[in-house]
């Protein structure tokens, strides 16, 4: 505060103090008046409070006390430098370079404003750390493979598809040509990535190791060299770039180059089997295809066709083929 001068006069033994009126602190060089409560002079003229003086000349702004090494601003109300930048007193801002994601994707993580620290992983990458733990992965796989878990997912799917609004939403989505094109492009790009292909193959092998009822019945009535590979143990890259996992192969596959496909009546009702057979043929593979109703309705005829297919059509069959009805008749 500006000091003021005092002049003291001795008049008949009485001290009389005459004070010089101080000036307004805003720099307007006008004099202020005394306070109404008698506690001294005012610091500003009425209305001059917001005309605070600028920071001192040739003085550098200090750094923020939070450690971000950024200069603070001048406080016009307290006539001093601020201690923190706005919101830095609670450290709601990141300090330094962000670390990389812990999952190994080499992407920088974001700042967690609630915990006031860097996140451990990029959003959505936490599951990668959990699945990298063999104990966690095995526990989840056992839960998913249990009968109770499968029935739970099955009932949830039925309940979801029973909703007419959900079915209408899915029909409109699949009827959108733009969505189909985007989905096709993304799928094609993913299957050209070798890491993605290996991941899908391993996941399929772990999830579908056991055949379904139709495949198990077909495996039971066919010869020993007809081996089930639908669990992801054998893959063929078709000419259109699609990776196909045949249901059955004829061993030794390097010599025979033959496979067998089974089409369910419901899931493959709109598929053309000749398109798949042609794709296999272009890769120098012979494919024999059966429909679900053929296997259940005429198992003897199916076995005969498989034996002819295995023996290159030479007609090597059991002498009394009709006796197979006692072994394989019925489901």
Residues 256, 299, single domain; the answer is yes
The span from the CA of 15 to the CA of 20, in Å, is 16
Q: What is the pTM of this model?
A: 0.41
The span from the CA of 281 to the CA of 238, in Å, is 10
Domain that holds residue 10: 1-53
The span from the CA of 150 to the CA of 194, in Å, is 30
Number of domains in the chain: 3
Q: What is the pLDDT of residue 19?
A: 62
Task: Answer yes or no: is 71 within a domain.
Answer: no
> To the nearest whole percent, how much of the chain has pLDDT over 70?
78
The radius of gyration of the chain from alpha carbons, rounded to an integer in Å, stands at 42
pLDDT in tens, 110-147: 888 777 778 888 887 877 777 777 777 777 777 766 77
Structure-token pair, residue 206: 């772990």
pLDDT in tens, 41-80: 887 777 666 655 556 655 678 888 777 778 888 776 777 7
Within 13 Å of residue 113, how many CA atoms lie on the same side as its CB?
Answer: 4
Residues 235, 182, single domain; the answer is no
In the block, residue with structure tokens 């006796």: 323
Q: Which residues lie closer than 8 Å to 287 by C-beta, 6 or more apart?
A: 246, 258, 259, 260, 261, 276, 277, 280, 281
Q: For residue 104, count other CB atoms closer than 10 A to its CB.
A: 12
The span from the CA of 131 to the CA of 138, in Å, is 9
Q: What is the pLDDT of residue 323?
A: 42
Task: Answer yes or no: is 81 within a domain.
Answer: no
Is the pLDDT at 224 greater than 50? The verdict is: yes
Task: Answer yes or no: is 86 within a domain.
Answer: no
């Amino acid at each position: 505060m500006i000091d003021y001068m005092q002049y003291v006069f001795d008049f008949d033994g009485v001290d009389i103090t005459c004070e010089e009126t101080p000036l307004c602190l805003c720099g307007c060089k006008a004099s202020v008046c005394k306070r109404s409560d008698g506690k001294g002079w005012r610091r500003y003229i009425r209305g001059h409070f917001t005309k605070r003086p600028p920071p001192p000349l040739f003085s550098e702004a200090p750094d923020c006390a939070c450690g971000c090494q950024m200069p603070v601003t001048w406080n016009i109300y307290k006539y001093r430098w601020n201690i923190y930048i706005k919101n830095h007193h609670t450290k709601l801002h990141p300090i330094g370079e962000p670390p990389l994601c812990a999952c190994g994707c080499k992407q920088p993580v974001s700042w967690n404003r609630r915990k006031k620290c860097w996140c451990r992983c990029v959003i959505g990458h936490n599951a990668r750390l959990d699945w990298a733990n063999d104990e966690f992965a095995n526990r989840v796989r056992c839960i998913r493979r249990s009968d109770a878990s499968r029935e739970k997912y099955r009932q949830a799917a039925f309940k979801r598809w029973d909703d007419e609004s959900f079915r209408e939403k899915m029909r409109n989505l699949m009827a959108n040509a733009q969505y189909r094109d985007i989905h096709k492009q993304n799928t094609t790009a993913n299957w050209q990535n070798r890491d993605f292909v290996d991941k899908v193959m391993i996941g399929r092998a772990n999830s579908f190791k056991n055949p379904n009822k139709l495949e198990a019945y077909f495996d039971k009535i066919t010869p020993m060299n007809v081996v089930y590979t639908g669990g992801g143990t054998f893959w063929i890259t078709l000419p259109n770039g699609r990776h196909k996992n045949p249901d059955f192969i004829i061993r030794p596959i390097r010599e025979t180059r033959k496979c067998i496909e089974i089409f369910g009546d419901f899931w493959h009702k709109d598929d053309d089997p000749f398109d798949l057979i042609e794709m296999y043929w272009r890769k120098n593979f012979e494919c024999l295809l059966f429909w679900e109703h053929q296997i259940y309705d005429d198992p003897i005829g199916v076995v005969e066709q498989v034996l002819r297919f295995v023996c290159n059509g030479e007609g090597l069959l059991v002498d009394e083929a009709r006796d197979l009805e006692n072994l394989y008749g019925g489901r």
